[in-house]
């Protein structure tokens, strides 16, 4: 075998090795792409779940706020507002006694004559 043929043979062998490596890289890239798709799929699923959870939390929060709105005295934010005045505003009895000695509603300044009416929530 001449020197030239030997060199050509070596070059061809090297080229073949590179070819193999290129194929390997290609198949690895395909695997990665598949995995990437799966991850993306999971990500969008997770995002969907997350937005559903957010919606649920929001709904619960709204329900909670409504409940708070309905039940807590707007003055002390502690007691149940279970007494109503003639103007239709609700407060707890201790706030009515404390802040409305002049028989004037703290919200609308309307005066009231009758005693606050106790409300019973179901």
When binding is defined by CB under 5 A, the residue of 13, 39, 108, 117 that contacts Zn ion is 108
> Looking at the DSSP assignment, which residues form a beta bridge with residue 91?
83
In the bound state with Zn ion, the residue whose beta carbon lies nearer, of 35 and 78, is 78
Strands (E), the chain: 83-84, 90-91, 117-118
At 109, give phi and psi (nearest 5°): 65, 15
Q: Alpha-carbon Rg of the chain, whole angstroms?
A: 39
**Of the candidates 83, 90, 92, 116, which one interacts with Zn ion according to CB under 5 A?**
92
- Per the DSSP assignment, residues forming a β-bridge with 83 are 91, 118
Closest separation in Å from C-beta 87 to Zn ion: 3
What is the contact mask toward Zn ion in residues 59 to 78, using x (rule: CB under 5 A)? --------------x-xx--
CB 70 within 8 A of CB 80: no
Q: Which is nearer to Zn ion, 1 or 101 (CB)?
A: 101
Return the closest-CA partner of residue 73 out of 96, 53, 55.
96
Query: Exactly one of 83, 90, 95, 116 binds Zn ion (CB under 5 A); which one?
Result: 95
Closer CB to Zn ion, residue 62 or residue 98? 98
- 89 interacts with Zn ion by CB under 5 A: yes
- Applying CB under 5 A, the residues found at the interface with Zn ion are 73, 75-76, 79, 87, 89, 92, 95, 105, 107-108
């Amino acid at each position: 075998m001449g020197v030239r043929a030997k060199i050509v043979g070596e070059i061809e062998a090297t080229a073949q090795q590179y070819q193999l490596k290129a194929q390997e890289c290609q198949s690895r890239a395909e695997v990665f792409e598949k995995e990437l798709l799966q991850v993306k799929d999971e990500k969008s699923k997770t995002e969907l779940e997350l937005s559903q959870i957010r919606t649920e939390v929001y709904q619960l929060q709204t329900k909670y706020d409504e409940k708070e709105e309905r039940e807590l005295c707007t003055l002390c934010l502690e007691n149940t507002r279970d007494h109503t005045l003639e103007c239709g505003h609700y407060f707890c009895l201790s706030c009515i006694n404390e802040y409305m000695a002049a028989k004037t509603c703290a919200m609308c300044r309307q005066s009231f004559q009758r005693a606050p009416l106790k409300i019973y929530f179901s």
